[in-house]
Amino acid sequence: MTPEVKTKIEEHIKGHKIFVFMKGNKLMPQCGFSNNVVQILNTLGVPYETCDVLEDDGIRQGIKEYSNWPTIPQVYINGEFMGGSDVMIEMYQNGELQQAVEVALAS
């Protein structure tokens, strides 16, 4: 990963309380897993931003290296990597996601 890509990734993560690296965007997810994350966040009614990794191959590969997580989407809350689609579903179902989002938005 180039220093420029790392800087871009960190700017996205640090610039937003909730940030999703995904295929597509929150208005038009381009894969089922990304859509799962969008639906969960929309259900919670919280503000979040996205980065379409399909538009930037440097970020698409770099985010996997940055997080040491092999798949996309990737969700960051308050600068902390939470996980992908399966993790978000599990956290949503057990109430952990709602708590993490509340803490992030209150800070």
Note down the domain range covering 83. Answer: 3-106
Tally of structural domains, the chain? 1
Predicted structure pTM score: 0.94
Looking at the chain, the whole-number percentage of residues with pLDDT higher than 70 is 100
According to the model, what pLDDT value does residue 4 have?
95
Local structure of 78: helix, strand or coil? coil
For residue range 41-87, list pLDDT tens digits in order.
Answer: 999 999 999 999 999 999 999 999 999 999 999 999 999 999 999 99
Identify the residue whose tokens are 């191959």: 57
* One-character DSSP codes across 84-100: -HHHHHHHHHHTHHHHH
CATH of the domain at 70: 3.40.30.10
According to the model, what pLDDT value does residue 107 have?
82
Burial class (CB in 10 A: 0-12, 13-18, 19+), 27: exposed
Confidence band (pLDDT; 50, 70, 90) for 25?
A: very high
